[in-house]
Amino acid sequence: MPNQWDAMALALVLAIFVAIAHGSSGMSAPLPAADASPVTLDYIYLPYYALRTTLRMFAAILASLIFTFTYATLAAKSRRAEVVLIPLLDVLQSVPILGFLSFTVTFFLGLFPGSTLGAECAAIFAIFTSQAWNMAFSFYQSLRTVPSELEEVAGSFHLSPWQKFWQLETPFAMPGLIYNMMMSMSGGWFFVVASEAITVGDTSIKLPGIGAYLAQAIDERRIDAVIGAVVAVLVVIILYDQLLFRPIVAWAGKFRVELSESQNKETSWVLRMFQRTRWLSAASSVPGQIISNVSLWRLDFLTPRLSRKVQSVFVSRLIDAIWFVAIAALGIYAVWQVVDFVATELTLADFYNTVLLTLFTMLRVVVLLLIATVIWVPLGVWIGLRPSLAEKVQPLAQFLAAFPANVVFPIAVVLILRFKLDPDIWLSLLIIFGTQWYIVFNVIAGASAFPNDLREVAANFRIRGKDWWLKVILPGIFPYYVTGALTASGGSWNAAIVAEYVKWGDDKVAAHGIGAYIAQATEAGDYPRIVMGVAVMSIVVILFNRLFWRPLFAFGERRLRVG
Amino acid sequence: MLDVPNETLLEVKHVTQRYKKASGEEGSTVLDDISMKLEPGEIVGLLGRSGCGKSSLLRLVSGLATPASGEVVYRGETVDGPAEGVAMVFQSAALFPWLSVISNVELGLRALRVSEEEARKRALAAIDLIGLDGFESAYPKELSGGMRQRVGFARALVTRPNILLMDEPFSALDVLTAETLRSDLIDLWCEGRMPIKSIMMVTHNIEEAVLMCDRIIVLSSNPGRIASEIRVKLAHPRNRLDPEFRQLVDQIYALMTKRAVTDRVGRDGAFPGTGLGMALPRVSTNSLAGLLEEVAAPPYNGKADMPNLADSLQMEINELFPIAETLQLLRFAEVEEGDIRLTLSGRRFAEAEVDVRKKLFGDHLLAFVPLAARIRRVLDERPSHFAPLTRFKEEIEDYMSEIYAETTIRSVIDWGRYGEIFEYDETRQGFSLENPV
């Protein structure tokens, strides 16, 4: 169940965005005309645009890492910080962050008036908001689950907190962090495409990059350029994966805490090249040496040695009480601010309308998840139980999950316009288009991991047909399926904001739903509507996660996890 | 090690330790008024069954934990954090998996600001000493358990500690590996090739204690107190088959199974707590039945010497004692002076068919395990014949830590299901009287 912390955290998030909108509405100035459309559709520029987009992704992931190391560490080390930071993170993780894009854009444009730097920062920040939360969450959870014996080793061998952080805690968190970084990267592509070309009220921004190229192609109705953008994204993602993530994952294998070497070790030709080529390995050992030395600094001044005398229980309780009262006051103030801001222009009728639209979108998400489930679970099982096939399909599914679905949206729009299809039905497909792959590769992974003994038991007792599905394989893959469906569900809500309202030149196609509502309000620069839309959507998403996915997840982990 | 000045290295003064509850409140007592000294040149063993607080005591001595009252004094100063000159070897070796053998060994030195070259030199020497030559660049997951524990020793020795603490260092290893490691360590110790002044080790293996230690401190549980202290004057290397050695082992077994006559609750005293607050061990009904059958059958015919039994079953006391003591609690057997003797009911159980066994077990469970009786009574009284798990768990958490409460309730569920005195439904997280269809 959502508790008071979630409510407070959500209010705080919304209030901060309201404050940003308030504070920066006067400061923002339209960019020079020259900057309004710096993107041309010549293919020759595509590599350059791809590079710019990739750099933005790098900047964002770097920011996410810095955020992860500070925020998650603070949450893990301080009990009082933890009660605020963790619910906040949880809310940020489930809120459709795309809805906030307009606020952040206005804010950053205000910071650097008239310069593209503001727009750059806004885009990077948007990508950051799609990447940081799950990374921080994973890091926090790792910090909390460091094996106690290793903690004791660090203590009894006098490692300073700085040394312990780099020698024990960070390495221990590495596998989870890297996995989440890859997930974040996949999510980031979606946002980079959405954030490079955005219109908020009178302000229109186009930053040189693939996203802006795509937007330009849509404006000029150039289907060939859309396909060009698709190809460029494909190439960039493949390069990214081969040159960056595969080496990192293969290298990070050593951080896994396990007693014996696992059977399927990840390999990477890039990593092997670095390790086997003499000058490359010599060149890379220099920064390696520096990092290793820095991690061995003691830096005792960071943590003045506290006397072990614990403060009296009374003093500690008193500080707790003051702290909690302060947070509660801040939370109530935040709620009041948000309501006040929204109520200036909107009435209760608007609110009901928003709730209704959110329910439409929810219906879409649920129905599409069901359809995706019905199609992909049997197929995923079929593939997963054939190891040689699974080995080929699995990377493809993961790749498709990373591919930003909004790049192919224009193609769908053209089809909808051409055949005069009902947008309420056919735009819905776009919501699930990019996120269904999470279900696919998780179900494949589940079926691959299904114990061979149990398969043989089923064969031995001739369990077939309905019984085999209901009593053997579906319970077996259930925990995996829920993980995939949970991710797909979260992604779908975000996708709704882009997918329910799409354009092709001057033609606009909208479905009924909260996503279209937010997108239209953004285009019009109507802040109270954006705030209310995002708030209602966030509340529904959080309730949906807590009341539906969490119990299902807990049930799967408790009862159906094999081994 | 005769050149060391003859002053006490470390002293534990009236130390008491309590469990910390999740809420931060202090729970039941783990260690109660422990006082002891560690002199130079001796190996001291802390011997006791699981849950007697021997590992807690070791952590207090190492400075990893602070006592609720009392103090630990090392070289004239109160220990209030990991002290320099005290190094620890952990049960599972506890190596950093991402560091190679040599980096693991160097880590403690680098933490102490020893220069890179010096650290490398000393680490290589320690690796050499402990017999790890050739494994310097290996990663822990490439090594066998025994080799990993050798790295654990090297890592501790390289810091040149005065005191070496060992927390059941051989218990995770197979019999042969453990024996090699023990004799290697004793050889190094006797030849004075290790820079340490004394060793303090925790063990639940009586033979291991007699084999290695100069002084054995036996801890009683409920709560942890020093029950007795035994000096071992046999010369190294010791021979397990030596009659004197055997006699000492028998003597300690007797000591550890001696009935606490002064105990208020008589023979239930084996487990911490009384009545509802009794912390029960996790023992499966198969082990209980198995031990009853084993003792009932020849050559024991109803009465067995525990050291012999432990030997023939290849069990250590931390495995054997809980089973024996559960049988004692259920009045299927009596444990005394290192012997286990079946009661009349115990013999009946061993000879009976499955259904009779279950009936007998259920009756004894209701009669002698207060928590089981309580659950049954609550179920009988309620019209719904249903009661949630948390109701009982929270009740017993008043008496013991959450971990013990969990173990206790799981054991009672297991035993109650076998004795068919109640049902437990995992989905509803509660007890009931109905039988599943």
**A495-535 pLDDT per residue, tens:** 888 888 888 888 888 889 999 998 888 888 888 888 888 88
If asked whether residues A353 and A491 sit together in one domain, one would say: yes
Give a yes or no: residue A285 inside a domain. Answer: no
Chain B interface includes A150 (CB < 8 A):
yes
Which residues from chain B sit within 8 angstroms of residue A261, using beta carbons?
Answer: 141-142
Q: What is the mean pLDDT of residues B194-214?
A: 92
Which residues from chain A sit within 8 angstroms of residue B94, using beta carbons?
Answer: 147, 149-150, 152-153
pLDDT of amino acid A52: 87
pLDDT of amino acid B6: 62
Label residue A68 by pLDDT band (50, 70, 90): very high
Least confident of A250-259, B144-153, B193-202, B349-358: A250-259
The last residue of a domain, from among A201, A232, A267? A267
Please judge whether B91 and A149 are an interchain contact, meaning their C-beta atoms are less than 8 angstroms apart.
Answer: yes
Q: Can you give the CATH number for the domain in which A153 is found?
A: 1.10.3720.10
Element (H, E) at A324: helix A313-343
Q: What is the mean pLDDT of residues B305-323?
A: 87
Compute the nearest-CA separation of B391 from chain A (Å): 20
- Please give the share of chain A, as a percent, with pLDDT higher than 70: 90
Which residues from chain B sit within 8 angstroms of residue A152, using beta carbons?
Answer: 59, 64, 88, 90, 94
Chain B interface includes A312 (CB < 8 A):
no
pLDDT of amino acid A264: 59
Give a yes or no: residue A24 inside a domain. Answer: no
pLDDT of amino acid A303: 63
Q: What is the mean pLDDT of residues B291-317?
A: 89
Give yes or no for residue B9 having a pLDDT over 70: yes
Parallel, antiparallel, or unpaired: how do β-strands B163-167 and B86-89 relate? parallel
Range of the domain at A545: 347-563
Please judge whether A158 and B108 are an interchain contact, meaning their C-beta atoms are less than 8 angstroms apart.
Answer: yes
Please judge whether B155 and A157 are an interchain contact, meaning their C-beta atoms are less than 8 angstroms apart.
Answer: yes
Of B64, B112, B141, the CB nearest to A258: B141
Domain count, chain A: 2
Give a yes or no: residue A492 inside a domain. Answer: yes
Give yes or no for residue B231 having a pLDDT over 90: yes
Of A152, A168, A313, the CB nearest to B96: A168
Label residue A297 by pLDDT band (50, 70, 90): confident
Give yes or no for residue B154 having a pLDDT over 80: yes
Least confident of B66-75, B256-265, B329-338: B256-265
Residue whose pair of structure tokens reads 């190891």 in the numeric block = A387
Which of A142, A237, A127 lies closest to A190, judged by CA? Answer: A127
Q: What is the mean pLDDT of residues B226-246?
A: 91
Please judge whether A150 and B96 are an interchain contact, meaning their C-beta atoms are less than 8 angstroms apart.
Answer: yes
Contact of A482 with A552, CB cutoff 8 Å: yes
Label residue B375 by pLDDT band (50, 70, 90): very high
The last residue of a domain, from among A267, A289, A321? A267
Label residue A563 by pLDDT band (50, 70, 90): low
Is the dihedral angle over the CA atoms B23, B29, B31, B32 positive or is it negative?
positive
Structure tokens at A336: 């009041």
Chain B interface includes A202 (CB < 8 A):
no
If asked whether residues A257 and A362 sit together in one domain, one would say: no
**A13-34 pLDDT per residue, tens:** 777 777 666 655 544 444 444 4
Which residues from chain B sit within 8 angstroms of residue A160, using beta carbons?
Answer: 111
pLDDT of amino acid A186: 79
Label residue B50 by pLDDT band (50, 70, 90): confident
The last residue of a domain, from among A249, A267, A285? A267
Compute the nearest-CA separation of B64 from chain A (Å): 7
Q: What is the mean pLDDT of residues A91-100?
A: 78
Which residues from chain B sit within 8 angstroms of residue A153, using beta carbons?
Answer: 88, 90, 94, 96
pLDDT of amino acid B2: 44
Please judge whether A171 and B155 are an interchain contact, meaning their C-beta atoms are less than 8 angstroms apart.
Answer: no
| Phi-psi map region of A489: left, alpha, beta (phi>0 left; psi -120 to 50 alpha) | alpha
pLDDT of amino acid B387: 92
CB burial class (10 A; 0-12, 13-18, 19+) of residue B348? Answer: middle
Chain B interface includes A557 (CB < 8 A):
no
Give yes or no for residue B124 having a pLDDT over 50: yes
Contact of A389 with A383, CB cutoff 8 Å: yes
Predicted ipTM beyond 0.85: no
User: Which of A265-274, A287-296, A381-390 shows the highest mean pLDDT?
Assistant: A381-390
If asked whether residues A95 and A191 sit together in one domain, one would say: yes
Give yes or no for residue B269 having a pLDDT over 60: no
- Please give the share of chain A, as a percent, with pLDDT higher than 90: 18
Q: What are phi and psi of B314, to 5 degrees?
A: 55, 45
pLDDT of amino acid A29: 41
If asked whether residues A250 and A364 sit together in one domain, one would say: no
Label residue B437 by pLDDT band (50, 70, 90): very low
Give yes or no for residue B153 having a pLDDT over 90: yes
User: Which of A2-11, A256-265, B81-90 shows the highest mean pLDDT?
Assistant: B81-90
If asked whether residues A366 and A491 sit together in one domain, one would say: yes
- Please give the share of chain B, as a percent, with pLDDT higher than 70: 92
Please judge whether A298 and B90 are an interchain contact, meaning their C-beta atoms are less than 8 angstroms apart.
Answer: no
d(CA B218, CA A191): 65
Label residue A119 by pLDDT band (50, 70, 90): confident
Label residue A96 by pLDDT band (50, 70, 90): confident
**B160-174 pLDDT per residue, tens:** 999 999 999 998 888
Q: Which residue does chain A place closest to B113, by CA atoms? A: A298
Q: Which residue does chain B place closest to A149, by CA atoms? A: B94
Q: What SS3 state is found at A403?
A: coil
Give yes or no for residue A308 having a pLDDT over 50: no
Which of A240, A42, A49, A31 lies closest to A122, judged by CA? Answer: A31
Give a yes or no: residue A306 inside a domain. Answer: no
Measure the CA dihedral A346/A347/A353/A354, to 10°.
Answer: 50
If asked whether residues A263 and A353 sit together in one domain, one would say: no
Compute the nearest-CA separation of B152 from chain A (Å): 10
Q: What is the mean pLDDT of residues A435-463?
A: 89
Q: What is the mean pLDDT of residues A52-77?
A: 91
pLDDT of amino acid B22: 57
**A168-180 pLDDT per residue, tens:** 999 999 988 998 8
Please judge whether A260 and B96 are an interchain contact, meaning their C-beta atoms are less than 8 angstroms apart.
Answer: no
If asked whether residues A191 and A46 sit together in one domain, one would say: yes
Give a yes or no: residue A321 inside a domain. Answer: no
Give yes or no for residue B321 having a pLDDT over 60: yes
Residue A386 Cα distances to A107, A302, B127, angstroms = 52, 54, 47
pLDDT of amino acid A307: 47
Give a yes or no: residue A456 inside a domain. Answer: yes
Please judge whether A256 and B86 are an interchain contact, meaning their C-beta atoms are less than 8 angstroms apart.
Answer: no
Give a yes or no: residue A261 inside a domain. Answer: yes
Buried b (16+ CB within 10 A) or exposed e, A48-73: ebbebbbebbebbbebbbebbbebbb
10 Å Cβ neighbour count for B69? 11
Mean pLDDT of all residues in chain B? 87
Give a yes or no: residue A510 inside a domain. Answer: yes
pLDDT of amino acid B49: 80
